[in-house]
Amino acid sequence: MRKAVFVFCLFFTIFASVDKAITAPAFSYASKIETDLPSGAVIVDVRPQELCLKGSLSGARCLPAADFFGPHGRLVNFPDLSWLLGTAGLSGNEHVIVVGISPLKRDFVAGMLYLAGQQKVTILRLSFAELEAESLSAGQKRANIRSAVHSTPFRAEMIILRNELDALLKSNKLPDLLDGRSEKEYWGENIRTFRGGHLPGAQLLPAAELRALLKKDTQSIPDFSAPIVYAHNTLESVAYFSLLRAGFGIEARVFLTGWADWAMEPSLSVDSLSYPDKQALNKSSNPEIPAQTYNYWLLASVVILAGLVLMAWGIFSKKGKRT
């Protein structure tokens, strides 16, 4: 009898553990960090490297959001992303807990880890200032070479590229589209790139409003069927994806490069189309106007100036010969 009871208890314990593992979300927010981290859990600090190295949570690995971007602010390609995560010692099988100061950058890195196939990602909602009571030690800097091979498959089915989205919009199967920018950007009043407006048929659901709801632990939002979500650029779009998927359980897919990429292609349809005035276009602080655009105008100016100099030199040379 005792043996039967023991076997039943053992079976129940195993079943409960397996059930808990299955039902535990692979991507979620947490409001506190456990004293004893789960076996294999890794803390990733997304703050600027100098801050992470100065002091972070015990055993944290430094992985700033800036490391995910190459020259001109472009997202690294997928093979380079796998290499990047390998230099942070991640194989993909770990439970990663993401911490940081900026919610935008924190959620972006968490989203990239999840899209890259990381087994489990938890976003710590507490700001780093609220973690100051924890014992801090120097964070671990990424290696120059891989200390692990990140080998888990990407969740590619959650990523939508511009040509794929264009094809979907031209088909009869129009997906739910969610725009996470501000209302003024959605209607083309505020413009941060070459065109203003929004994707055809997109519904407005600002990320700022969702963050406010999440802060109040209110998770009631309209139900959407596998929506494609986007914001201004890659950083904001992936952070918005994280907010919806980890915070509200929406089975979202992300238009990876966001509105800025769509607006740059004149042939693509836009609702509430608007254009910035010349003064706005001339503001070099706009991060979405590629550097090569400015280089083009600089080159053109140099060519024109050189032409004028040559013309002047030619005129004076002729006058010198005559005299």
- Which pLDDT score is estimated for 130? 73
- The residues with which 9 forms a beta bridge, in sequence order, are none
Backbone angles phi, psi at 50, to 5 degrees: -60, -35
Domains of the chain plus CATH, in order, are: 25-154 (3.40.250.10), 158-281 (3.40.250.10)
Quote the strand ranges of the chain, DSSP E: 27-30, 41-45, 56-57, 61-62, 95-99, 120-124, 136-137, 159-160, 177-179, 196-198, 203-204, 228-230, 253-255, 271-274
- Which pLDDT score is estimated for 17? 36
Q: How far apart are CA 275 and CA 203, in angstroms?
A: 21
- Which pLDDT score is estimated for 136? 84
- Which pLDDT score is estimated for 36? 53
Contact indicator for 92, 85 with CB cutoff of 8 Å:
yes
pTM over 0.85: no
- Which pLDDT score is estimated for 24? 58
Lookup: tokens for 211: 């963050």
Q: Name residues of the chain where pLDDT drops below 70.
A: 1-24, 34-39, 132-134, 219, 278-323
Q: Which amino acid is at 232?
A: H
